[in-house]
Amino acid sequence: MGTTQKSVTLTLTERAGEEVKKFLAEEKVSQESAGLRVAVLPGGCSGFRYSLNIEEQPAADDVVIESAGVRLFVDEFSSQYLNGTVIDYKSNFQESGFAFENPNASGGCGCGSSFTV
């Protein structure tokens, strides 16, 4: 019972929030309990990579954050690498997708989906 939940600041821009809400609707999950899992996994060309998944509910030890009207689920391992990160959704002629602005990353790769700490 003595577990303390770490605090993590994670922000979705309004545009990213709208995109996540579209995915939640497509998955036909409950908007009240479902959310976006934001995780950091070992791998990618720079050591770590980001992972985004729609999940029906948070795990017992997740930090749950509300941003842009969306619930974000972050596990303890990922929280140390994601604190202060802003997730945006970018769309242009060449590409579209979620972009991460992570103050904890000391380097990255050309594809923008992995980073170094």
Per-residue pLDDT of the chain (117 residues; tens, 9 = 90+): 444 556 889 999 999 999 999 999 999 898 889 999 999 998 867 788 899 999 999 999 999 999 999 999 999 999 999 999 999 999 888 888 999 998 988 766 555 555 555
The confidence score (pLDDT) of residue 115 equals 56
Is 13 in a helix, a strand, or coil? coil
Contact 99, 87 (CB under 8 A): yes
The confidence score (pLDDT) of residue 2 equals 42
Best CA proximity match to 8, nearest among 90, 67, 89, 70? 67
Contacts of residue 32, Cβ cutoff 8 Å, sequence gap at least 6? none
The confidence score (pLDDT) of residue 34 equals 96
Best CA proximity match to 81, nearest among 55, 51, 36, 45? 51
The confidence score (pLDDT) of residue 31 equals 80
The confidence score (pLDDT) of residue 1 equals 43
Inside any domain, residue 4: no
Inside any domain, residue 1: no
The confidence score (pLDDT) of residue 92 equals 85
Inside any domain, residue 66: yes
The confidence score (pLDDT) of residue 63 equals 95
Inside any domain, residue 2: no
| Number of domains the chain contains | 1
Q: Give the structural domain span for 27.
A: 10-116
Strand order in the sheet with 35-42: 63-67, 70-74, 35-42, 48-55, 114-116, 107-108
